[in-house]
Amino acid sequence: VTHKREVWSGRSVFIMAAIGSAVGLGNIWRFPYIAYENGGGAFLIPYLVALLTAGIPLLFLDYAIGHKFRGAPPLAFRRLRRGAEFIGWWQVLVCFVIGVYYAVIVAWALRYTFFSLTEAWGDDPEGFLIEDFLQQDGDATFGLSFVPGVAWTLLLVWIAVLGVLALGVQRGIGNANRFFVPLLVLLFAVLVVRSLTLEGATDGLNAFFSPDWSALTDTGVWIAAYGQIFFSLSVAFGIMVTYSSYLKRKTNLTGSGLVVGFSNSSFEVLAGIGVFSALGFMAQAQGVQISEVVAGGIGLAFIAFPAIISSMPGGPFFGVLFFGSLVFAGFTSMISIIQVTVSAFQDKTGMSKVPAVLAVGGVSAIVSLLLFPTTTGLNTLDVVDRFANQFGIVGVAFVALVVVAWIYRRLPELRDHLNSVSSFKIGAGWMFFTGILTPILLGYMLFSEIRDRIRDGYGGLPDSLVLAFGWSVQAAVIVLAVVLSFIPWRKGIDLEYELDE
Q: Which residue's CB is nearer to ligand PHE, number 326 or number 405?
A: 326
368 counts as binding ligand PHE under rule CB under 6 A: no
Q: Residue 85 in contact with residue 266, Cβ under 8 Å?
A: no
Task: Check binding of 21 to ligand PHE (CB under 6 A).
Answer: yes
Closest separation between CB of residue 333 and ligand PHE, Å?
A: 4
* CA dihedral sign, ordered 25, 27, 28, 32: positive
* Per-position b or e across 10-47, b if 16+ CB within 10 A of its CB: ebebbbbbbbbbbbbbbbbbbbbbbbbebbbbbbbbbb
Residue 26 in the binding site for ligand PHE (CB under 6 A): yes
CA neighbours within 13 Å on the CB side: how many for 332? 32
Which residues, other chains included, contact 265 with Cβ-Cβ below 8 Å and sequence gap of 6+? 47, 51, 232
d(C-alpha 142, C-alpha 286), whole Å: 37
Quick check: 99 and 337 in contact, CB under 8 A? yes
Query: Does 333 sit near ligand PHE (CB under 6 A)?
Result: yes
By C-beta, is 14 or 128 nearer to ligand PHE? 14
CA distances from 252 to 11, 239, 255, 485 (A): 8, 18, 6, 31
Q: How far apart are CA 243 and CA 245, in angstroms?
A: 5
CB of 267 to Na ion, least distance (A): 7
Q: Which is nearer to Na ion, 89 or 231 (CB)?
A: 231
Q: Are 14 and 177 in contact (CB under 8 A)?
A: no
Q: Which residues of the shown chain bind Na ion in the complex (CB under 5 A)?
A: 22, 26-27, 232, 264
Which residue's CB is nearer to ligand PHE, number 25 or number 147? Answer: 25
Whose Cβ is closer to ligand PHE: residue 22's or residue 301's? 22
Question: Which residue number, 25 or 241, has a Cβ lying nearer to Na ion?
Answer: 25
Q: How far is the CB of 196 from ligand PHE (least distance, A)?
A: 23
Cα 216 from Cα 432, distance rounded (Å):
23
Q: How far is the CB of 30 from Na ion (least distance, A)?
A: 8
Residue 25 near ligand PHE by CB under 6 A? yes
Q: Which does 25 bind (CB under 5 to 8 A by kind): Na ion, ligand PHE, none?
A: ligand PHE
Comparing CB distances to Na ion, the nearer of 264 and 284 is 264
- Which positions ≥6 away from 299 have C-beta within 8 Å? none
- Cβ of residue 22: shortest distance to ligand PHE, in angstroms? 5
Taking residues 220 to 259 in sequence order and writing x for each that binds ligand PHE by CB under 6 A, - otherwise, the string is: -----------xx-x----x--------------------
By CB under 6 A, residue 24 contacts ligand PHE:
yes
Q: Which residues of the chain form contacts with ligand PHE (CB under 6 A)?
A: 21-22, 24-27, 98, 231-232, 234, 239, 333, 336-337
